[in-house]
Homo-oligomer: A and B are copies of this chain.
Amino acid sequence: MTQQQTPTKITNKLLSEEFLNKFDTFLFDCDGVLWLGTILLPSIRETLDMLTSLGKQLIFVTNNSTKSRKAYTKKFESFGIKVTEDQIFTSGYASAVYVRDFLKLQPGKDKIWGFGEAGVREELTLMGFETLGCDDPGLNQPFDASTSPFLVNGLDKDVKCVVAGLDHNVNYHRLAITLQYLQQPDVEFVGTNVDSTFPQKGYTFPGAGSMVESVAFSSGRRPAYCGKPNKNMLNTIVSAFNLDRSKCCMVGDRLNTDIRFGHEGELGGTLLVLTGIETEERALEVTSEHPRPAYYVEKLGDLYEYTH
């Protein structure tokens, strides 16, 4: 496979144009690729404009489940980048699609218990699922089994699935009630994404996976993970846009999620950028732990800078 050949570093105009000509569609990870937290990386607007003017299709794929797709368009807007909601795929949205299309739960009838932030609730709600938990203020109260409003009247029998992801408001109340639902054998268990950590302001902080694995351990169950690098997410995207995988390139800053996602999804190519957590040394490393990218570049903006 292309991805297992020695990665090509894009270092000049010729290589950049050759690379761009190979693909019709680019799937971008966001944080570490387009921006770092609240800082837009250099020449990103120009690169995206150039790709659009070349007739390329742009799709944005993020494991961040804390924001809904609608909220994500606002983040793009804040950087002066115009994208529409249907160009964005979050792991929260991927989880909602999985619940409806794979688990075949019924919007309007089956309910979901969410352990995660507003993004998870909003995507599930938009799909028609009544969603309990998540950012319900009652869960911010200290947990007491005798008074918790989520316990005293019994569990909701219509809850058929737990969707768990990153929650900065994680507390014992949320963990305890999530466990009660997971102890029901007929309740499904979905994790938004397996990331153990995420980078922020030079630190590495606990990611969605570290929360999902906590309730997985207490319940003795394994979740179905939906975000990158899981194929469910890519299958959803490919079918939504009727894409030709061979003409798609996944662009990301993480070998074990983004590049694996493109590789295992059998896309035509992968591009690693070095503005996130990976180094050139890691990009070139041959290991069984993650695939190598087909291409890599110091920063995404180089694609524009080399050709202008």
Contact = CB atoms under 8 A, between A and B. Distances in A.
Interface of A: 142-143, 145-146, 151, 167-172, 175-176, 179-180, 183, 196-197, 200-201, 203-207, 209-211, 213-215, 217-218, 220
Given A145-B201, A206-B214, 9 more contacts: A145-B205, A146-B201, A170-B171, A172-B206, A175-B210, A179-B206, A209-B217, A210-B214, A213-B217
A143 B200 CA distance: 13
A146 to B, nearest CB: 7
A172 B213 CA distance: 15
A205 B217 contact: no
A218 B196 contact: yes
Which of A145, A169, A172: most chain B Cβ within 10 A? A172
A172 B211 CA distance: 10
A143 B201 CA distance: 13
A200 B168 contact: no
Nearest to A205: B176
A218 B206 CA distance: 6
Contacts of A172: 167-170, 206
Task: Please classify the interface of chain A as helix (H, G, I), strand (E, B), loop, or mixed, using the class held by over half of its residues.
Answer: mixed
Contact of A151 (B170, B175, B203, B207): B203
B146 A206 contact: no
B171 A196 contact: no
A213 B151 CA distance: 25
Contacts of A217: 196, 209-210, 213-214
Given A205-B145, A213-B214, A170 B175 contact: yes
A200 B148 CA distance: 14
Nearest to A169: B172
A133 to B, nearest CB: 15
Contacts of A168: 142-143, 172
Contacts of A207: 218
A211 B179 CA distance: 13
State the 3 A-B residue pairs at the shortest beta-carbon distance, nearest first: A210-B218, A214-B214, A206-B218
Contacts of A145: 200-201, 203, 205
A93 to B, nearest CB: 23
14 contacts: A143-B168, A145-B203, A167-B172, A168-B172, A169-B171, A170-B172, A179-B205, A179-B206, A180-B203, A209-B217, A210-B215, A210-B218, A213-B213, A214-B214
Contacts of A179: 197, 204-206, 210
A206 to B, nearest CB: 4
A218 B166 CA distance: 12
Contacts of A204: 179, 183
A1 to B, nearest CB: 27
